[in-house]
Structure 1
Amino acid sequence: MISNERHSLSSIIGDDLLRNAKLPLLLTVLVLVSAIAVVLSSHRTRLLTAEREQLILEREALEIEWRNLILEENALADHSRIERLANEKLQMQHVAPEQEQIVIQK
């Protein structure tokens, strides 16, 4: 019997895959899903690495600022210490600006 029915090639391939090749089709789908997962994972890793580098740079900047603040505090504390020693040991007093002008004019 000769049949004049025409079937498209894609429907024949699809029917053959669903009937005879279920395991290879399932494995193909699993490989594709796995490949997409690897790509997404590596992309996420690159984003996290870039974020980590940015945070490290920010931490270093904050550490530098912290060291500068400690140096500034120490420098200001030295002036306070010197002023305190001058008051206590040498009985020196801080001159107000109006008294300073009087002293200069005399």
Structure 2
Amino acid sequence: MSKSQLNLTRIIVLDLWHHKWMLLLGLVVLANAVLVVQTTYASRQYTSQWDQLLQQRDRLDIEWRNLLLEEQSQSEHSRVTRIATKELNMSRPLPNEEVVVRVQ
């Protein structure tokens, strides 16, 4: 390096040292900007995850309701069968006792 380049480097370093508070504030502002970007990204990720969880909850709720309806319909059939068997002494006919009625 030549002597003029060394002098220029020295002048730049001294000037930066003279304005060290401005340099420090600039670095703090830059770090703050990076943190804002990271926080915004994380917030969007959490919001997306929250939406997916809400959709999953809705799907599970619909499935639960369908299962309750199915259980209710199954229990009604068994209740009818039980009442017919016990209270009315009814039974399912044997295959040779079945009669087919044709409607014309």
TM class, shorter-chain normalised? 0.7 to 0.9
Instruction: Report deviation, 1:30.
Output: 0.5
Residue 14 of structure 1 corresponds to 13
Residue 39 of structure 2 corresponds to 41
CA distance in 1, matches of 2:76, 2:91: 17
Corresponding residue to 1:103 among 94, 97, 100: 97
Post-superposition Cα deviations, 1:39-67, rounded to whole Å, max 9, x if no partner, equal 00000000000000000000000000000
Change (3 A) 1:16 1:81: same
- Deviating runs (4+, > 4 A) in structure 1? none
Residue 69 of structure 1 corresponds to 67
Structure 2-normalised TM-score?
0.83
CA distance in 1, matches of 2:8, 2:47: 45
CA distance in 2, matches of 1:59, 1:10: 66
Unaligned runs of 5+ in 2: 100-104
CA distance in 1, matches of 2:68, 2:48: 30
Post-superposition Cα deviations, 1:64-91, rounded to whole Å, max 9, x if no partner, equal 0000000000000000110011012210
Change (3 A) 1:9 1:87: farther
CA distance in 1, matches of 2:5, 2:70: 86
Between Structure 1 and Structure 2, how many residues are aligned? 97
